[in-house]
Structure 1
Amino acid sequence: MKHCVAVSMRLLISILICLAAIVYHQRLNILPYLSSKNIITTTTSTPQATTNTTMPAAQSTFKGLPVIPPNDPSLTATTTTPRAIRKVFEAIDQAEGAGARVRRSVGTRELKNFTPFLMLDHFTIAPGAGFPDHPHRGQETITYLLSGAVDHEDFAGNAGTIYAGDLQFMTAGRGIVHAEMPAQNPDGSANIGMQLWVDLPAHLKDCEPRYRDLRGSEIPVANSPDKKVNVKVISGRAYGVDSLQELAYTPVWLLDVTVQPGGTFDAPLPHKWNAFIYTLSGSIVLAGPQSSKTIPQYHNAVLEQSGDSIVASVPASAEKESRFILVAGMPLDQPIVQYGPFVQTSTEGIYKAMADYQGYANGFERAENWESEIGKTMVH
């Protein structure tokens, strides 16, 4: 009897090993198909990405990398050279989520995985639309609301509402499930804002998730000497005014700039950081080291890494002011492998993220039987 049991156990183990081998083989075979269909996207390097300085290990107490790089040669230079324009393209309107519309500029064929940036959406969420319960792993999201109000709720117990001028910083880390749903505005108008996805350094992708609101009243404001330029210094520096610190792990500058006719925005950018601007309204003239270019509304202008500053003006003959978002970030010297809301540095990491999410493990334990209150109805 014992012999029969032993034989049966060996047979069972052999079968399990064979099944595991088959599954692993199928995973290897399906990867090229997923990549070819852009279901899983892989970027081994990004043009002009630079190697980071040594970064501190993840800590239980939140501490991001310096958003104002110390001793940065571009920030301390007495004379600066404007950055040249690499490319300019329009952000095309498209459907996203449950009934929402977005103008996506980063995360498209025009500009994919522009380290550390993964995606930039200029979104419009009408009543009855939204982004119900969904997961993230391995990145940070920054949501900036331009009009209306949006509710947030996640399985870590964070919940709140941001209004026009407010921001939400969320670090997904090892895993989070949340919902983002629009408020029902009294006049029935849509909720409009920007959402930026930022990659996390490889050694911080397993950090604990984190969430915080940044109220518009907390954001310092800077002005040019002639008062024709107004800057909301969300993250970074402008005209000698520094933002709040410790907003996110990955250092990112985010400036909301309004330029009156006849005004010129002139500001240094951190050395070799990747940067771009997105025009919200009106048009601006970007000055390069050799030529200038007009950037119309809803266009993304990607800047070269060489150079020290950005110079953007609005002609005195313009009929109205122009507004744009300036975004800059420290490049991460690491591969980017992305499957929807999961961002890792290897395909194995993506497979693990999907398995963990489906199995409620390794960061997704709290997702089991969890359902947000705000996601239960598309209008509230």
Structure 2
Amino acid sequence: MSIEIRHATVMAEGAGARVKRHLPLPTFMNFDPFVMFDHFELGAGTGFPEHPHRGFEAITYLFSGEIEHRDNLGNVSTVGPGGAQRFTAGSGIVHSEMPSVEETTSGIQLWVNLPRRLKASEPAYEEAPAETVPEVAFDGGRERRIAGEGGRVSLKTDALYRHVMLDAGGRHAIEPPAGWRAIVYLKDGAVRVNGQTLAVAQAAFLEGEARIELEASEGSELMVVAGHPHGEPIRQRGPYVD
């Protein structure tokens, strides 16, 4: 059982984009099955122009603004705050994600590795507008279920992904299946994760923890992702995860 608090590294990506990155970093490349976790901010004229990928699935979830996805499969779609889009790169996909409004576009991009048996699967795309993402209220807050049990977006890896919003003094617990790893990222506010303090832009990496307990001392927003590790070698090189 372990929990490690890690700071984000601020860096440039794409065309003028700024990201707060937790994965991959030279000293911490991946956290099986997760191979990238970026909190991005895009101004007008910045973004992620056309580029290739293979070997994983990616979910882009927005907090603000609007982003347009285009790919070589012929998909063209936009997603706004509270919405998500998922692509399965599989054997290979070429896509772009560019803001389609003047205001700042902010969100999370999460990459989930594909098991070796699915690396050569057909590429695919799924759009999840905000109104289709289930939102569940509980005493002290609410959560939006992006993927996993009760979630909107499908993945080929056993995983859950939630956007949790806690009131001041709010508490919430998530119990992932045994053997799963989890990441808790604090977007805004002040939270304790299994008794450890998490500051804004920090992430808690949990392994072997049967229960994720969240306590907010003020109104807070955080992302919780958990998944079953594949236990296979990960060969990660830029946009490719082989």
Q: TM-score range by the shorter chain?
A: over 0.9
1:243 Cα deviation (Å)? 2.1
1:192 Cα deviation (Å)? 0.4
1:104 Cα deviation (Å)? 0.4
1:170 Cα deviation (Å)? 0.1
- Does the Cα contact within 8 Å between 2:147 and 2:155 map onto a contact in 1? no
1:234 aligned partner, one-letter code:
I
1:75-132, Cα deviation, whole Å (9 max, x unpaired) = xxxxxxxxx5521121122111110000001212453221111111100011111111
2:161 aligned partner, one-letter code:
L
Which of 343, 358, 365 in structure 1 is aligned with 2:241? 343
Aligned-partner SS, 2:73: coil
- Does the Cα contact within 8 Å between 1:89 and 1:110 map onto a contact in 2? no
Equivalence for 1:285: 192
Q: Hey, what's the Cα distance between the residues in 2 that align with 1:236 and 1:176?
A: 24
1:230-255, Cα deviation, whole Å (9 max, x unpaired) = 11111234xxxx2246x121222111
The range that moved more, 140-149 or 89-98, is 89-98
Report % sequence identity: 38
1:20-41, Cα deviation, whole Å (9 max, x unpaired) = xxxxxxxxxxxxxxxxxxxxxx
Aligned-partner SS, 2:62: strand
Structure 1 residues 309 and 110 mapped into 2: Cα distance closer, same or farther (>3 Å)? Answer: farther
Question: Do residues 300 (structure 1) and 207 (structure 2) align?
Answer: no
Q: Hey, what's the Cα distance between the residues in 1 that align with 2:122 and 2:87?
A: 11
Which aligned runs of 4 or more in structure 1 are off by greater than 3 angstroms?
none
Which of 231, 237, 244 in structure 1 is aligned with 2:143? 231
Q: Give the total of aligned pairs.
A: 242
Which of 168, 183, 193 in structure 2 is aligned with 1:276? 183
Structure index of larger Rg: 1
1:223 Cα deviation (Å)? 2.1
- Does the Cα contact within 8 Å between 1:86 and 1:303 map onto a contact in 2? yes
Structure 1 residues 110 and 283 mapped into 2: Cα distance closer, same or farther (>3 Å)? Answer: farther
| Larger strand proportion of the pair | 2
Q: Hey, what's the Cα distance between the residues in 1 that align with 2:190 and 2:113?
A: 29
Equivalence for 1:243: 151
Q: 5+ unaligned residues in a row in structure 2: which ranges?
A: none
Equivalence for 2:174: 267
Structure 1 segment 209-220 matched on structure 2, within 5 A: 209-220=123-134
Q: Hey, what's the Cα distance between the residues in 2 that align with 1:109 and 1:178?
A: 25
Provide TM-score, normalisation by structure 1: 0.62
Q: Hey, what's the Cα distance between the residues in 2 that align with 1:85 and 1:144?
A: 27
Aligned-partner SS, 2:131: helix
Q: Hey, what's the Cα distance between the residues in 2 that align with 1:133 and 1:243?
A: 29
1:280 Cα deviation (Å)? 0.4
1:283 Cα deviation (Å)? 1.3
Which of 116, 124, 130 in structure 2 is aligned with 1:202? 116
2:197 aligned partner, one-letter code:
T
- Does the Cα contact within 8 Å between 1:85 and 1:301 map onto a contact in 2? no
Q: Hey, what's the Cα distance between the residues in 2 that align with 1:293 and 1:174?
A: 40
Structure 1 segment 90-169 matched on structure 2, within 5 A: 90-109=7-26, 111-169=28-86
Equivalence for 1:89: 6
Which of 307, 310, 320 in structure 1 is aligned with 2:212? 310
Q: Hey, what's the Cα distance between the residues in 1 that align with 2:78 and 2:220?
A: 28
1:298 Cα deviation (Å)? 0.5
- Does the Cα contact within 8 Å between 2:128 and 2:152 map onto a contact in 1? no
Provide TM-score, normalisation by structure 2: 0.95
Equivalence for 2:162: 255
1:249 aligned partner, one-letter code:
K
- Does the Cα contact within 8 Å between 1:145 and 1:162 map onto a contact in 2? yes
Aligned-partner SS, 1:336: coil
Q: Hey, what's the Cα distance between the residues in 1 that align with 2:101 and 2:129?
A: 20
Aligned-partner SS, 1:112: coil
1:44-91, Cα deviation, whole Å (9 max, x unpaired) = xxxxxxxxxxxxxxxxxxxxxxxxxxxxxxxxxxxxxxxx55211211
